[in-house]
Structure 1
Amino acid sequence: MTNPVYRVDGERLWRDLEKLATFGAEEAGGGVTRPAWSRGYLDAERWLVAQFEDAGLSVRIDAARNVWGRWEEGKLPAIVAGSHIDSVPSGGAFDGCLGVLGALEAVRALRRGGHRPDRQIWIVAWTEEEGSAFGNALFGSRAFVGELDLEAALERTNAAGETLAQAMGRIRHDSAAPPGLPRLPDGLGDLAAYLELHVEQGPLLERDGVPVGVVTDIVGLRGARLRFTGQANHAGTTPMDARRDAGVGAARGMVEARRLAVDHGVRATAGVVELSPGGTNVIPGRAEFSLDARDREAAALEAYVSALRAACSRIAEEEGLDVAYEQVYDIAPVPMDAELQRLLTDVCAEIDTRCRPMVSGAGHDAMVVAPHVPAGMVFVPSRDGISHAPQEFTSPQDCAKGAEILMHALARLSAGKPKTGGHP
């Protein structure tokens, strides 16, 4: 049963969200640009450390620059809650931030209410979840579980041409982080479960009038580039029936990508298009588009990609082109822990809050942690389904409700229940 003594301070949580949004705030447009390792990010990190310390938590910054606030009263393996505080360019104030600050407010409420945990409770702010600084998406969580290609990650450069290795060296001179390369702070064996509160970043909860989503799965992702090659030529002197126009091939390929996505029930996006040589009076000799395909079933993604490749090969033959498919990433779908799903659903019922099961169409740090530690996620509504934009907004009431659910879940899990495990 939930304990009525434990109460989150929704007003304080909202003030924290507003304060965090000032770090990296844009003068025009109302957005937040706070890539990991930037000045705004480091200022936000220092502020967060101060909040952890003010809440009575022990603070550690590991060599991957994940920030940990630890309530170390319990003796059993820890329950971890968190998310990230970096942003995309011109992003919003809630993506990731609610998960970190909601966890902080949940811990504050438990401490105020006199909770005596058998398990330690840790809060984490993972580094560079977005990948907007060096392209190392999910950097901190991947370093934590030992799945990071460290050599490749350290060689990546930001917009200024600085490598990540150089940035980490520069920052370490003014940091509490230990020297050395990313490593596990205490080992996965010291963790019993991981919870992540997050804004939905989509329209479903608001559309259906349901205040909370309990995540069942995080979708798998296939990323690729499809490149059509023809012959650049003069736009005015080349007859239409003599053209090998790579731009036409790519355009037809993108239309097929959408049509096949609908047929296969997956979500697919062509977000980047490049034409070369790029003159208004030159027929493109090369055209490339990016592909981002997502689904909860790996087999559905495989079938979709196979169908698209076949369609693009047919288009290339019809247009007199060559086509190449280059895979950029292949991330398997990840189910959330079945027992944690039930626990979160039970908490919602006990505090008289409607919830629904949901598949996350976005990637999260929880998908990195879940294969190693039982993981669960809670979603709260995003107004108009907007995220990764200045208009991103979740109401104070919904933010507080998410923190309340997290608080009760942490109270139960920290009471000494054995490790959860298993998927639906």
Structure 2
Amino acid sequence: METVNQLLSSIQDVGRDAVRGGYSRAVYTTPELDLRQWFVEQAQHRGLDVETDRNGIMWAWWGKPQEGALVTGSHLDSVPGGGAFDGPLGVASALAAVDILKARGFQPPRSLAVTVFPEEEGSRFGVACLGSRLLTGAIDTDKALNLRDINGDTFADVAGANGLDPRHIGPDPVAMARIGDFVELHVEQGRGLGQDGPAVAVGSSILGHGRWKISVSGQGNHAGTTLMADRADPMVAAAQIVLAVRETAARQPDARATVGRLTPVPGGTNVIASRVDLWLDARHPDDAVTAQLIEGIYRAAQDVAAAEGCTVTLTEESYSDTVHFDAGLSRRITGLLPGAPVLATGAGHDAGVLAGYVPSAMVFVRNPSGISHSPEEYVADEDASAGALALADVLEGLL
């Protein structure tokens, strides 16, 4: 029987990023594919039957695949330069929980599945939780197939090159019917659990959040021959927009807004850009406030762009309303984990997408630094073990 720490140690060299630090494991890149193979081997080692569905979601079954099963799991992909626990902790903990249950001599009265959802982070194709969105129909299939990565490759082409048939990608009512309840264990990505006290918590809700692309267009030109007064430089406007995002969000209590990526076109050192693309992440517990926040940012961006002789467009790439997890399921889990606090989270998860369709819940494991999406993300060995034990107790209690 392997502990969570031993399982994570076995993949600690997969996808290390020598430039950013941490791990870069974008969907259908070599590191993520290696992790998929690792999952298959680990699941089969435990006597689980593994299948990959038409959306690229992996299912490892303890018992026969059937409707109304209890499902747990998470994801294996990462943000660029991400930490070691965001995603893999949930998968490793699910495998360890199976070990714990088998060591107890437990025989599930209904089937249990451990899942791995692809492209949860959206780091390659820009839409978070793409696998669960496709499964449930929460994203238009044609839109998903035509998403492009930084190299211009479409999701349809990449998926096809990795064994999926693009003609069959999309809502899967048969697979959805197999999910009776879904429980996702995840590293806590804030400081809700603190340094002391319980190592695990039960999730209550996920803040409404979305991603938008802001494109600022100006006049591309020569950096050496174009006088400063003659410029319509979208980079200057983009810099001011980044500041406007911070200032607009800071005026609204509980709002979070971030520009985490910026791409100039064409991107030469001695070239005034013709266009600059910025990607905005915005979140708030009240969906109406999130909408107002985006409107305020767009107005500020238009004013800034006009002052620099540029134009600006805003395009929504994805959005999820505030999610409240199934009250009945959460109460049952809270009863199985006495003393565990109940926490809301500002981070999106596949459980949040599934919550609109099936009873879903989350269990969080302490991250003492509160740092995530960063190499400094951390879970102590004893907390990881406590999380796996808690998940085993939850699964046994729910089965």
Is residue 361 of structure 2 the alignment partner of residue 376 of structure 1? yes
Q: Secondary structure at the match of 1:270?
A: strand
Aligned residue number for residue 300 of structure 2: 311
| AA at the equivalent of 1:202 | G
Aligned residue number for residue 168 of structure 2: 181
Aligned residue number for residue 94 of structure 2: 103
Q: CA deviation at 1:197?
A: 0.3
Aligned residue number for residue 197 of structure 1: 185
| AA at the equivalent of 2:207 | V
Q: CA deviation at 1:193?
A: 0.8
Q: CA deviation at 1:373?
A: 0.5
Contact 1:21/1:32 (8 A) holds in 2: no
CA-based RMSD: 3.4
Unaligned runs of 5+ in 1: 1-8, 415-424
| Runs of 4 or more above 6 Å deviation | 27-30, 73-76, 177-180, 232-237, 276-285
Range with greater deviation from structure 2 (299-308 or 83-92): 83-92
Q: Secondary structure at the match of 2:111?
A: strand
Aligned residue number for residue 3 of structure 1: none
Counterparts in 2 of 1:160 and 1:46: CA distance versus 1, 3 Å? same
Is residue 37 of structure 2 the alignment partner of residue 46 of structure 1? yes
Is residue 114 of structure 2 the alignment partner of residue 118 of structure 1? no
Q: CA deviation at 1:89?
A: 3.2
Aligned residue number for residue 335 of structure 1: 324
How many residue pairs get matched? 396
Q: CA deviation at 1:230?
A: 5.5
Aligned residue number for residue 140 of structure 2: 149
The partner residue of 1:302 within 291, 302, 306 is 291
Q: Secondary structure at the match of 1:205?
A: coil
Range with greater deviation from structure 2 (158-167 or 401-410): 158-167
Superposition TM-score, scaled by structure 1 size: 0.80
Contact 1:65/1:140 (8 A) holds in 2: yes
Contact 1:102/1:197 (8 A) holds in 2: yes
Is residue 72 of structure 2 the alignment partner of residue 81 of structure 1? yes
Unaligned runs of 5+ in 2: none
Distance 1:279 1:162 in 2: 23
Q: CA deviation at 1:161?
A: 5.5
The partner residue of 1:138 within 97, 122, 129 is 129
Q: CA deviation at 1:332?
A: 1.6
Q: CA deviation at 1:279?
A: 7.2
Q: CA deviation at 1:299?
A: 1.1
Q: CA deviation at 1:308?
A: 2.4
Distance 1:192 1:50 in 2: 26
Q: Secondary structure at the match of 2:251?
A: helix
Q: Secondary structure at the match of 2:193?
A: helix
Q: CA deviation at 1:98?
A: 1.2
| AA at the equivalent of 1:338 | A
Is residue 3 of structure 2 the alignment partner of residue 15 of structure 1? no
Contact 1:74/1:118 (8 A) holds in 2: no
Distance 2:98 2:113 in 1: 9
Contact 1:70/1:122 (8 A) holds in 2: yes
Distance 1:169 1:285 in 2: 34
Range with greater deviation from structure 2 (189-198 or 242-251): 242-251
Aligned residue number for residue 238 of structure 2: 250
Counterparts in 2 of 1:250 and 1:341: CA distance versus 1, 3 Å? same
Distance 1:94 1:253 in 2: 33
Distance 2:393 2:218 in 1: 60
Contact 1:74/1:117 (8 A) holds in 2: no
Counterparts in 2 of 1:376 and 1:27: CA distance versus 1, 3 Å? same
Q: Which has the larger radius of gyration?
A: 1
Aligned residue number for residue 69 of structure 1: 60
Distance 1:136 1:323 in 2: 22
Distance 2:100 2:296 in 1: 52
Deviations 1:232-258 (A, max 9, x none): 788898576x87654444333332321
Range with greater deviation from structure 2 (294-303 or 112-121): 112-121
Q: CA deviation at 1:144?
A: 2.0
Aligned residue number for residue 400 of structure 1: 385
Aligned residue number for residue 90 of structure 1: 81
Contact 2:55/2:131 (8 A) holds in 1: yes
Identity, in percent, stands at 36
Deviations 1:153-182 (A, max 9, x none): 33445556654444444443xxxx899623
Counterparts in 2 of 1:63 and 1:284: CA distance versus 1, 3 Å? closer
